[in-house]
């Protein structure tokens, strides 16, 4: 028996050594390396990522929130890229940062655009007396006033700086077609020029026109829409409002980078090309009267709360608004409703031409409210009975007078 036990111990030792040797054959990734993997599971503050032979990745805490800021809702089965923050934590996980990976990927794309002298689309974030602070997929750069196209250049008489800034602020949130004229990652410096991109866009207008149907590939996703590349160096913007007829909270929830799409050109000028996906989809509001009518009571799902009311999904394509006036204050509305839950509403009005539906909440009486009402009624009855008793007790009998004969 002793010999058998010794043999088993030796066998276990050999197996453990083999496993250790096998593990050493796959070295841990280096810090800051970019890795791709498939999401295995997701909960409220973390996601587990299958990195293949490399190991198991982890997005947790602030990095999980950062990942949702970049990608939108993360689901099991999604493929994501992350930068290594910790090669191996105490639990053996490789801790990742999607936000850092997105920054590195985007910066690499900026370098390629700069080298190839290709135009790109940026969004104006801020304005000051020197020019515009613009953003490309979360990375900020600067565009001096001198680099604005002629139609955006602030033509202020006398060169009043205050008035120049006022004119520049009118461009905030506008998308501009630009080129990179200076790039330095070490100094985190990017200088853009709208003037340099004008010539390319003028050539573009000879090839494309408003109303054209084009094929492209999704090249970028931002919180205000998606970028679609039709050909090398030529991109158009699909604003979030032009993605679909239904309400879209996050473009990344319905479309991914690399997806092939068909779009319609809705505007084309010297500075930008705007596209629409929903223009090629059937408008669900055309036949709205066949599905819904004023006065109908429906069961809808709350999708978004804001200061002027709550958006409600009746189905996949039709949303209505229950105005804040139905609740009195935003605080009361938030006390009554929860996002993602179903409630009963009544259709107050339908404006198909403007894609609007007004709703009123049908308040359901809770068991607690029923009990409170019953108690109040019971209390009223008791008070009434007591008052009746007082009247009887305090009432004096009428004097009777005998008729004198």
Residue given tokens 């409210």 in the structure block: 369
pLDDT at 149: 83
- Cα first-last separation, the chain: 137
Identify the pLDDT of residue 404: 46
Q: Give the whole-angstrom CA distance, residue 270 versus residue 259.
A: 27
Q: Which residue has the tokens 């005998």?
A: 402
Q: What is the mean pLDDT of each run of 10 residues along the chain (405 residues)?
A: 51 51 65 91 91 91 85 85 91 90 88 89 91 90 89 74 88 90 89 82 74 90 83 82 85 86 86 86 86 91 88 87 90 88 92 89 64 62 58 53 48
Question: Burial, 8: exposed, middle or buried (Cβ in 10 Å; 0-12, 13-18, 19+)?
Answer: exposed
For position 394, what pLDDT does the model report? 54
393's enclosing H/E stretch is helix 367-394
Which pLDDT belongs to residue 322?
93
Copy the structure tokens of residue 369. 């409210």
Residues in the chain, total: 405
| C-alpha to C-alpha distance for 259 and 238, rounded to whole angstroms | 14
- In this prediction the pTM is 0.49
Are the CB atoms for 347 and 318 separated by under 8 Å? no
Domains and CATH numbers, the chain: 27-98 (2.40.50.140), 117-201 (2.40.50.140), 208-280 (2.40.50.140), 288-361 (2.40.50.140)
């Amino acid at each position: 028996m002793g010999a058998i036990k010794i043999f088993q111990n030796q066998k276990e030792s050999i197996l453990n050594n083999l496993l250790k040797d096998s593990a050493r054959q796959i070295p841990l990734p280096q810090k800051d390396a970019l890795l791709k993997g498939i999401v295995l599971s997701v909960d409220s503050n973390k996601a587990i990522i299958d990195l293949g032979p490399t190991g198991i990745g982890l997005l947790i805490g602030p990095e999980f929130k950062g990942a949702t800021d970049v990608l939108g809702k993360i689901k099991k089965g999604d493929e994501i890229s992350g930068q290594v923050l910790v090669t191996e934590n105490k639990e053996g996980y490789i801790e990742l940062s999607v936000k850092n990976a997105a920054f590195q990927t985007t910066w690499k794309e900026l370098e390629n655009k700069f080298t190839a002298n290709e135009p790109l689309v940026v969004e104006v974030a801020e304005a000051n007396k020197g020019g515009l602070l613009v953003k490309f997929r979360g990375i900020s750069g600067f565009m001096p006033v001198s680099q604005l196209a002629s139609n955006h250049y602030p033509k202020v008489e006398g060169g009043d700086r205050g008035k120049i800034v006022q004119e520049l602020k009118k461009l905030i949130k506008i998308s501009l077609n630009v080129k990179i004229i200076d790039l330095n990652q070490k100094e985190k410096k990017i200088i853009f020029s709208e003037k340099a991109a004008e010539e390319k866009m003028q050539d573009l207008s000879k090839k494309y026109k408003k109303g054209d149907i084009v094929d492209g590939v999704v090249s970028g996703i931002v919180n205000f829409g998606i970028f679609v590349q039709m050909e090398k160096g030529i991109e158009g913007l699909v604003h979030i409002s032009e993605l679909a007829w239904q309400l879209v909270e996050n473009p990344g929830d319905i479309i991914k980078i690399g997806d092939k799409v068909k779009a319609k050109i809705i505007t084309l000028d010297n500075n930008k090309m705007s596209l629409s996906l929903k223009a090629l989809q059937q408008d669900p509001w055309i036949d709205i009267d066949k599905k819904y009518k004023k006065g109908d009571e429906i069961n809808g799902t709350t999708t978004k709360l804001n200061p002027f009311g709550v958006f409600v999904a009746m189905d996949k394509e039709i949303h209505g608004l229950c105005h804040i006036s139905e609740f009195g204050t935003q605080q009361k509305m938030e006390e009554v409703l929860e996002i993602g839950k179903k409630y009963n509403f009544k259709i107050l009005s339908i404006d198909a031409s403007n894609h609007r539906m007004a709703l009123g909440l049908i308040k359901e009486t809770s068991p607690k409210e029923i009990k409170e009402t019953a108690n109040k009624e019971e209390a009223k009855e008791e008070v009434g009975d007591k008052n009746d008793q007082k009247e009887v007790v305090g009432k004096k009998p009428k004097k009777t007078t005998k008729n004198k004969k």
